[in-house]
């Protein structure tokens, strides 16, 4: 059978995901994302700020004008100006360089901390909500036990008991942070598991793990993503708070909470607390902007309102 060139061209163009049809779909998706960002300037601001901090964290050794741990005693407590853009601390260390290097510690800790908390909390909430009965009772009573204590107080107690270190402060925050995810996921699962498509999967003999993974998990992903993005900023804030109280990294480490705590001892040198505090605030606000915008995007009422 003879195959013409025109037939080959038609076949390639009409294949899904290729040719003009695929390009149109990709352009349509890109246009929708861009339109959403224009309609949500706060999310665009948050993305720009977080992207800037990520670039700063990666390029800190190149951008920083001074060694963050180098002590120049003749330049102690220098105000902003001259070679020291943000001034110096009580040991003559450049605050601007220390803030840049602090991003290498605070940002990864926030991401890792909340990622682990969301995985643990989502798993516990999914299992408890799906199976119910005594499994639900045991898991939720343990969750309520942790909820009974204020988050920061319990984190301080655990960190103090474990001893001052970066790892111990992360463990302390992780212990008190996952219950929020467990409670949220459980409440959503209790609603979803009674839906017809879940009951139909059970009727045809689908296994519990498959139902949880294929039918229920995709429907709880939206609220978990919203909480996660908001909590990354809050996790960095709590981590900085523990460092401020002397329960985090060592005083010599370039970390925003440690720098703020060191500046409190000398309030006349306002720049020692102001600039690290602004760094913390910018990251927390940026993640809150992204989380709020994602909530609008994933809310079914959003498209109707728009």
User: Is the predicted pLDDT of residue 164 greater than 70, yes or no?
Assistant: yes
CA angle, residues 133, 135, 137, in degrees to nearest 5: 70
Closest CA to 271 of 30, 84, 67: 84
Give the alpha-carbon dihedral of 294, 225, 232, 47, to 10 degrees: -40
| Dihedral sign of CA atoms 289, 291, 292, 293 in order | positive
pLDDT at residue number 298: 72
Mean pLDDT of the chain: 84
pLDDT tier at 254 (50, 70, 90 boundaries)? Answer: confident
pLDDT tens-digit profile of 39-89? Answer: 778 888 999 999 999 999 999 999 999 989 888 888 888 999 888 999 998
Cβ-count burial of 220 within 10 angstroms (0-12 exposed, 13-18 middle, 19+ buried)?
Answer: buried
Q: Note whether 49 and 286 are within 8 A (CB).
A: yes
- Mean pLDDT value across residues 193-200: 84
**Tokens 């040991």 sit at which residue?**
91
pLDDT tens-digit profile of 265-301? Answer: 777 889 999 999 999 999 999 999 988 888 777 765 5
Query: What stretches of the chain show up as alpha helix (H) in DSSP?
Result: 5-14, 19-39, 41-63, 95-131, 133-147, 151-162, 166-192, 196-203, 208-210, 217-244, 256-264, 271-298, 300-305
Domains of the chain: 43-76+87-299 (1.10.3720.10)
C-beta pairs of 49-54 under 8 Å, 24+ apart in sequence = 49/282, 49/283, 49/285, 49/286, 50/283, 50/286, 50/287, 50/290, 53/103, 53/107, 53/282, 53/283, 53/286, 54/107
3-state helix/strand/coil string of 145-195: HHHCCCHHHHHHHHHHHHCCCHHHHHHHHHHHHHHHHHHHHHHHHHHHCCC
């Amino acid at each position: 059978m003879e195959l013409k060139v025109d037939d080959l061209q038609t076949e390639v163009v009409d294949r899904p995901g290729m040719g003009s049809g695929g390009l149109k779909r990709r352009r349509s998706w890109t246009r929708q994302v861009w339109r959403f960002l224009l309609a949500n300037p706060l999310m665009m601001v948050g993305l720009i700020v977080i992207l800037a901090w990520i670039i700063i964290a990666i390029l800190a050794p190149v951008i920083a004008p001074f060694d963050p741990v180098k002590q120049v005693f003749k330049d102690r407590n220098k105000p902003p100006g001259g070679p020291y853009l943000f001034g110096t601390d009580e040991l003559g260390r450049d605050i601007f360089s220390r803030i840049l290097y602090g991003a290498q510690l605070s940002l990864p800790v926030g991401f890792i901390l909340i990622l682990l908390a969301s995985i643990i909390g989502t798993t516990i909430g999914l299992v408890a909500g799906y199976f119910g009965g005594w499994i639900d009772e045991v898991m939720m009573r343990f969750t309520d036990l942790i909820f009974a204590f204020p988050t920061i107080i319990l984190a301080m107690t655990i960190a103090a008991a474990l001893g001052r270190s970066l790892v111990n402060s992360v463990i302390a925050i992780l212990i008190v942070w996952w219950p929020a995810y467990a409670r949220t996921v459980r409440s959503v699962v209790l609603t979803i598991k009674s839906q017809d498509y879940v009951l139909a999967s059970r009727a045809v003999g689908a296994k519990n793990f498959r139902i949880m993974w294929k039918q229920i998990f995709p429907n709880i992903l939206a609220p978990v993503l919203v909480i996660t993005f908001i909590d990354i900023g809050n996790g960095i804030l709590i981590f900085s708070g523990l460092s401020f109280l002397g329960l985090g990294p060592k005083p010599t480490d370039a970390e925003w909470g440690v720098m703020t705590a060191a500046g409190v001892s000398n309030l006349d040198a306002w720049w020692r607390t102001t600039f690290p505090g602004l760094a913390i605030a910018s990251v927390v606000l940026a993640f809150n902007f992204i989380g709020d915008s994602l909530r609008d995007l994933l809310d079914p009422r959003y498209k109707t309102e728009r």
